[in-house]
Amino acid sequence: MYFAVISIFPEMFASIRDFGITGRASAQGQVTIDCINPRDYTADNYRRIDERPYGGGPGMVMMAEPLAQAIDDARGRATQHGCRIDAAHCPVIYMSPQGQTLSENSVLEMSDYDGMIILCGRYEGIDERLLMHYVDSEVSIGDYVLTGGELPAMVLMDSVIRRLPDTMGDDQSAIQDSFVDGLLDCPHYTKPHEYAGMSVPDVLLSGHHANIAKWRFGQQVARTQARRPDLWQAFTPNAQQAKWLKALAKSDSNSH
């Protein structure tokens, strides 16, 4: 998968290109990460990419022209990597607190792209005309504001890369994570058997895979109900989960 990141701080992306699962995916050629600095497309000696906003007000606004040239260059590079250049296959995505909130469902959809061109804003924002002419979608990682789009871009890239085939040590790891089935993840345990006066739940030592699956689902339900009631309200169980829910409800009624 091809990623072109447009940022005035391309050095920041070494953390995702060189380390961990994403770094391994890059080293193995499963993903290509190009960082494009819009300052390289300026005409003045100061390599200026921002100006005062029309109408007054605080801060600076990123100018349209250098960003447009950077996006055009990114599209050319994406084509060389076999990407189909359109919103459905290699969109231009602007990281913005005004965008659609990133979710596991949207990540899964994005993992089917040929690639993406990610635009990282700074200062007070980007000239609206650039956004209207070039950007296919805006993505937010939450209802708060950061100093720039680089960290959100890395969050987006990390979440998408880990859903690509063969990037995880075990593809089941991604499937069992929080939010994948609409619930939070269950607790996990490893050696030693006892720690701080607490033991590993017996069911996890039983070797009975059906019972383990049922227990883990029950833990997911309890955690989701307690910590994210909004997720629980939206949750729709599959046939097996519906059976487990009935069994859990019966068990709860018998214990009272």
Burial class (CB in 10 A: 0-12, 13-18, 19+), 60: middle
Same-domain check for residues 155 and 33 = yes
Same-domain check for residues 157 and 66 = yes
Answer whether residue 185 is part of any domain: no
Question: Dmax over Cα atoms in the chain, in whole Å?
Answer: 77
Answer whether residue 180 is part of any domain: no
Q: According to the model, what pLDDT value does residue 251 have?
A: 82
- The Cα–Cα gap between 170 and 79 comes to 31
Answer whether residue 182 is part of any domain: no
Spatial CA neighbour of 4 closest among 33, 39, 26, 29 = 33
| pTM beyond 0.85, yes or no | yes
Burial class (CB in 10 A: 0-12, 13-18, 19+), 239: exposed
- The Cα–Cα gap between 233 and 230 comes to 5
Give φ, ψ of 224 to 5 degrees.
-65, -40
Q: What is the CATH number of the domain that holds 228?
A: 1.10.1270.20
Answer whether residue 139 is part of any domain: yes
- The Cα–Cα gap between 247 and 240 comes to 11
Same-domain check for residues 116 and 222 = no
Q: What is the dihedral of CA 179, 182, 184, 187, to 10 degrees?
A: -100
CA distances from 174 to 3, 6, 115, 241, 251 (A): 21, 28, 20, 19, 30
Answer whether residue 83 is part of any domain: yes
Same-domain check for residues 28 and 110 = yes
Q: What is the CA radius of gyration of the chain?
A: 23
pLDDT tens profile 80-90: 999 999 999 99
Domains in the chain, number? 2
Q: Decide the pairing of beta strands 115-120 and 92-101.
A: parallel
Same-domain check for residues 148 and 249 = no
Report whether 99 contacts 118 (CB < 8 A): no
Q: Which domain holds residue 208?
A: 194-255
pLDDT tens profile 210-240: 999 999 999 999 999 999 999 999 999 999 9
Q: Averaged in consecutive runs of 10 residues, what is the pLDDT profile of the chain (256 residues)?
A: 98 96 96 98 92 93 96 98 97 96 95 98 94 97 95 98 85 57 89 92 95 95 95 94 94 75
Q: Decide the pairing of beta strands 50-51 and 32-36.
A: unpaired
Q: What is the CATH number of the domain that holds 66?
A: 3.40.1280.10
Beta pairing partners, 5:
35, 118
Answer whether residue 72 is part of any domain: yes
Amino acid 109 reads: E
User: Which residues are catalytically annotated?
Assistant: 97, 124, 162, 177
- The Cα–Cα gap between 49 and 231 comes to 42
Same-domain check for residues 64 and 135 = yes
Same-domain check for residues 154 and 59 = yes
